[in-house]
Amino acid sequence: MQIRFTTGISLLLSQAVLAVLLLQPAAAQQPQWKDTAEYELVVNGVGKETNPQKRLQLLQQWEEKYPDSAFKNNRNQAMLQTAQQAGDAALMKKAAQKLAADDPSGVFGLIGYQSLNLLTVSMNDKSEAALADGEKAAKGLLGVIEQVKKPDQVAEDAWAKEKANNQVLAHRALGWIEWQRKNFTGAEGHFVDALKINPNNGEISGWLGTVILLQRNPDKQAFGLYHFARAASLEG
């Protein structure tokens, strides 16, 4: 599964790994529908509706009628995907926050934290409240990637790559947040950490050059200009 944002960045959890995670047995007792009406609303309503706006309405009906549904994590994930299709970033953020809150150490929480880290930057909300939300989400992502266990079917190197990608995503968000707070040295530290994990990220290299030059430290100007040139060579 991939969710595309206006920045062109996608969720970093690969489709193959996500599929394995979601198929892992969560408990000995499988979740059940509350009643036949819930089943009909979801399977024959939400499941068959292709118009994003109408599907959002059905998902909201499901949430209103069955707030404690055994499938609420699946509902939040569907809300996130459908809101993205409808171009509603605010609703995406709300759904992602629910995923993170309802499954803070599991795969649904991982999806929520990933989405929140991407939305922190793509929504470009520089208010302190939004930046605080973003910081919480980035730290949450760094925590949850250590708690979600590697499925037996996933190779060690593939799992290590997933963790590394999410670490880059979190440091990218944290660096952007400190940049907006005008803590340029703090932003520099996070961008450097991200590039240690993925040296070929041209976007972050360009951002690193920017925050270094904003520090107006003559001793670091050459380093900042180097990262501008490096970003251009990586991104074309």
Q: How far apart are CA 7 and CA 121, in angstroms?
A: 9
Q: What is the pLDDT along the chain (236 residues), one digit of tens a residue?
A: 233 333 333 344 444 444 444 445 444 457 888 999 998 999 889 988 899 999 999 999 999 999 999 989 989 988 998 999 999 999 999 999 999 999 999 888 999 999 999 999 999 999 999 999 999 999 999 999 999 888 778 788 888 888 999 999 999 999 999 999 999 999 999 999 999 999 999 999 999 999 999 999 999 989 888 888 888 888 76
The closest alpha carbon to 153, from 1, 10, 25, 29, belongs to: 25
Which whole-number Å values give the CA distances from 110 to 72, 92, 163, 169, 226, in the listed order? 15, 15, 11, 12, 35
Structure token digits, residue 8: 């062109």
Which whole-number Å values give the CA distances from 101 to 73, 98, 144, 163, in the listed order? 10, 5, 12, 20
Alpha helix (H) residue ranges in the chain = 15-22, 36-39, 52-65, 72-86, 89-102, 107-122, 128-147, 156-180, 184-197, 202-214, 221-235
pLDDT, position 236: 63
CB 112 within 8 A of CB 76: yes
